[in-house]
Amino acid sequence: MRPVVVLGDALLDVDVEGRTERMCPDAPVPVLDVTTEHARPGGAGLAAVLAAAELPVLLVTALAEDADGARLRALLEPMLRLVAGPARGGTVLKTRLRADGASLLRVDHGTGHPAPGFGAAVGPALADALTSAAAVLVSDYGRGVAADPTARSALLEAVARGIPVVWDPHPRGPAPVPGVTVATPNLGEARAALEADETVPAAELAAALALRWDCSAVAVTLGDRGAVLAGRDGGHVDVPTQRVTGGDPCGAGDAFAGRVAALLAQDAGLHGAVRGAVAAARAFVAAGGAAALRFQRAA
């Protein structure tokens, strides 16, 4: 079976769970009595492991040589093939403090930018993987992997060969390379990219971005309202969904983009891939989102 290639910024996410039954004596804030901690891949790492549940996946990313980077590597390697170039600024660690199923606070560390030599380190393996890839997902978290010149050159070659390319953009990241199959911004990202206000319909945003980014199509995700898919000609398809009561939306965008890539790899067609991805994202949120996932380090 041909692999899905995921390229982007992998992060380490940690949920610290506990109880809040008392207040701090020296400040008007609750005390979190920690009961457990769960670590998982985040960013492109989460998108990759979700796709790897049904297809072989190669993840191309930047990893720092630090304790958090080693922890992230140990979570990823049992589930997929990992090609990691050097990173600077420390592994991106996002820690959510949670009680009773709700987040109280998030603490972020690290910047995780590709270091000099990143392109040379990953370029040969990326080029080789793209010769047999069934689909490509660019999972951009604005840290620089999607902006690397070597990576972008390889992606342009993949587009030229007709490989389906899904681009999940980030406000701090670059525009997609021309010709990708579909870009998947959320509504806020689409508005920000076009500097549009809330009166502009999502279908118009999607069509305008397809023209600006030279994509075959853009699927703007709308949270619990599903998604809208539009091409450069302005024609669009609404893909509604049912509202989820409760659940955790953390990671829903990764679930959506990863599912689009996986379905395109299985020749589902773009409309079918977006419909399937909307259903997958809803199921992901209803099941508890990223907070419900459990990963074990390699022995």
For the cut 80, the answer to whether the pLDDT of residue 298 exceeds it is no
Question: What are the φ and ψ backbone dihedral angles of 72, each rounded to 5 degrees?
Answer: -65, -45
For the cut 70, the answer to whether the pLDDT of residue 291 exceeds it is yes
- The counts of H helices and E strands in the chain are 8, 14
115-125 residue pLDDT tens: 999 999 999 99
pLDDT given at position 45:
97
Asked if the structure places residue 74 within a domain, the reply is yes
Going by pLDDT thresholds of 50, 70 and 90, the confidence category of residue 234 is confident
pLDDT given at position 280:
95
pTM here? 0.93
Mean pLDDT calculated for residue range 135-158: 98
Q: Which of 15, 140, 168, 254 is catalytic?
A: 254
Q: What is the CATH number of the domain that holds 274?
A: 3.40.1190.20
The total domain count for the chain is 1
Q: What whole-number percentage of the chain has pLDDT above 70?
A: 98
pLDDT given at position 262:
97
pLDDT given at position 244:
82
Query: What is the per-residue DSSP string for 246-292?
Result: S---TTHHHHHHHHHHHHHHTT--HHHHHHHHHHHHHHHHHTTGGGG
- Flag the least confident range among 121-130, 150-159, 225-234, 286-295: 286-295
**CA–CA separation, 184 and 165 (whole Å):** 11
User: 190 vs 43, 138, 147, 215, 241, CA distance in Å?
Assistant: 19, 17, 19, 14, 20
Angle value at C-alpha 39, between 33 and 40, nearest 5 degrees: 145
Q: How many Å is the maximal CA-CA distance in the chain?
A: 64
10-41 residue pLDDT tens: 999 999 999 998 999 998 889 999 999 999 99
84-116 residue pLDDT tens: 999 999 999 999 999 988 889 999 999 999 999
Asked if the structure places residue 297 within a domain, the reply is no
Going by pLDDT thresholds of 50, 70 and 90, the confidence category of residue 297 is low
Asked if the structure places residue 186 within a domain, the reply is yes
User: 77 vs 45, 48, 89, 99, 104, CA distance in Å?
Assistant: 11, 11, 22, 30, 31
- Can 9 be counted among the known catalytic residues? no
User: 297 vs 38, 41, 287, CA distance in Å?
Assistant: 11, 11, 22
Nearest to 237 by CA among 250, 247, 246, 228: 228
pLDDT given at position 275:
97
For the cut 90, the answer to whether the pLDDT of residue 296 exceeds it is no
182-226 residue pLDDT tens: 999 999 999 999 999 999 999 999 999 999 999 999 999 999 999
Domain region containing 117? 4-292
For the cut 50, the answer to whether the pLDDT of residue 247 exceeds it is yes
**CA–CA separation, 147 and 153 (whole Å):** 10
Asked if the structure places residue 299 within a domain, the reply is no
Going by pLDDT thresholds of 50, 70 and 90, the confidence category of residue 299 is very low
